[in-house]
Amino acid sequence: MKHGILIISFLLLAFQATAQHIPYGSRLTVGGYGEVALTRNFYSDNVYRYSSAAAHQHEQHGRFDIPHAVVYLGYDFGKGWTMQTEIEFEHTGTGGAVEKEFEEAGEWETETEKGGEVELEQFWIQKSFCPEFNVRMGHIVVPVGGLNNAHEPLNFFTVYRSEGEYTILPSTWHDTGISLWGSTAHWRYEAMVIAGLDAYMFNTENFVKNGAGSPFEFKAANQLGFAGRIDNRSIRNLRMSLSGFYGRAFNNTYPYEVIPETSRYYGVVGRTAIGAFDFAYTGRHFIARGNADYGHVGDATVISNMKRNRSANNAPYKKSAVGKGAFAAGGEAGYDILSLFRPKDAERQLFLFGRYEYYNSYIPDQGQEAAEWTARHRIAVGLNYFPLPQIAVKAEYSHRFLKAGYNDEPSISIGICYMAFFKR
C-alpha cells in the first residue's frame, strides 16, 4: 500500500504543477470513481460448501470492501493528439492474496492477483483525424460485453458489478494493443488488436476471466487477440450493441514452448471466441439495461489436463478444468419513484430497481467431469438514491438459486459510490 500512496502523492503533485503552468486549463481532464460495499451473506464461505452442502447449510458470513477506487488523468496536446491514464486501486490496493481453494481440497494458496499494488487500467495516446476515424495505441479497455463497456458504478443499479459478465469475462478487461474507432450521428465502431488470452489462467469458476491477466512483469503476446464492438443509437434514448473477441489462447505464456510434431499437444491452439449483445435505455425517469454473452474455448479438455501438470511445479495457474463454453444473460430496470412527487427540475432521484440474471461458468466438453454448482439464477431488488447526479447510495437484497443439492445464496448489501470529472 506504501507504493500506492507514493504514486497518488506523485499524481497530486503533478496535477498541481500542471494546473499552474498549462495556459489552457480545458486541455487537462481529472476525474475518477470509487465504491464502498458492505455485505452480509446468508450462506457459507467454506471451501466445501458445494461438495458437502448439507454440512454448511445454516452458515453465514460478512464482507466489507472497497472494490474500486480510480483516478483519471487526461490531456489534450492539440492537433488531434490526446492521452489518457487510469490508475486503479482494487480492494484497497492489495497485489496478492492468500486464498483457500475449495476446488483443491481446501489447500491454502498464495494467489497472484496482479503485478503490483496499483493497477494501470488505461494508458494510451491517440491521434484523431476526424470523428469517423481515430487511432489509439497503448493500454486500452476492451469493450466486449455490456459491463466492460460501462463498468463505472453509476452505470449499474446493483451494489457490485453485474454478476454474470463479471464472473465469466475479464472485468474490467484492459490490455495493450492498437484500436481503430470512430463515430457518426447514430453509429460507433471499434476494432482492436491486443495481446491474446492465456489459456493456463482459465478455470472452472471463472471461465476465461483471468486469461487477460499476467503473473509476470510483462504480458506474453505469443498469440494475438482481435476484439470489436458496434453501437447503434438510431432510436432515441436507446443504445444497442454487438461485441466480440477471437484469438488463440494456448501456449500464450512465458516461457514460450515450441511443440514438436511428436508431442500429443502438437496442433492444440485453444481457439477462444466470445460474442455479446447488450443494450441500455435511459429515459427521463426509467432506465433499463441488459446483456447476453456466450464464450467458447477449443481444446478445453487438452488444455485442462496440461495446465494441471504445469501447476504441479508451483506455476501460477489454478488446477481446475476449463469448460468448452460459458454463458451469461441478464437484465435490470429501475424507475425514479421520486418523479411521482417532486418538481420536474429537482436534482434528487430514487430508483426502485430489479435485476435478474442467469450464468454458467462451466459447460463441460465431452468426457469432462460435471460441476453443477456453476449454473446459477440470481435476482436482486433494491434502491438507488441520488442526492446529486455524481453520487449514489445503494441498497439491495439478492438471492442466488443453485441446482438441487446445493444451498441457495441470499445476501443483503449496502453501498455508496461516486463518478465525476473534477476538471475538464
Q: What is the pLDDT along the chain (424 residues), one digit of tens a residue?
A: 444 544 444 444 444 444 444 444 579 999 999 999 999 999 999 989 998 999 999 999 999 999 999 999 999 999 999 999 999 988 876 555 666 565 555 666 666 554 435 788 999 999 999 999 999 999 999 999 999 999 999 999 999 999 999 999 998 999 999 999 999 999 999 999 999 999 999 999 999 999 998 878 888 899 999 999 999 999 999 999 999 999 999 988 888 888 888 788 888 999 999 999 999 999 989 999 999 999 999 999 999 988 777 655 566 777 889 999 999 999 999 999 999 987 766 789 999 999 999 999 999 998 899 999 999 999 999 999 999 999 999 999 999 999 999 999 999 999 999 999 887 6
CA–CA distance, 287 with 173 (Å, rounded to integer) = 25
CA–CA distance, 423 with 93 (Å, rounded to integer) = 25
Contact by Cβ (8 Å): 139, 377: no
Q: Is 216 helix (H, G, I), strand (E, B) or coil?
A: coil
Contact by Cβ (8 Å): 295, 324: no
First to last CA, the chain: 29
Q: How far is C-alpha 148 from the chain's CA centre?
A: 6
211 phi and psi, to 5 degrees? Answer: -70, -20
- pLDDT value of position 94: 58
Whole-prediction pTM: 0.87
CA–CA distance, 179 with 170 (Å, rounded to integer) = 18
Q: What is the CATH number of domain 25-423?
A: 2.40.160.10
CA–CA distance, 168 with 293 (Å, rounded to integer) = 9
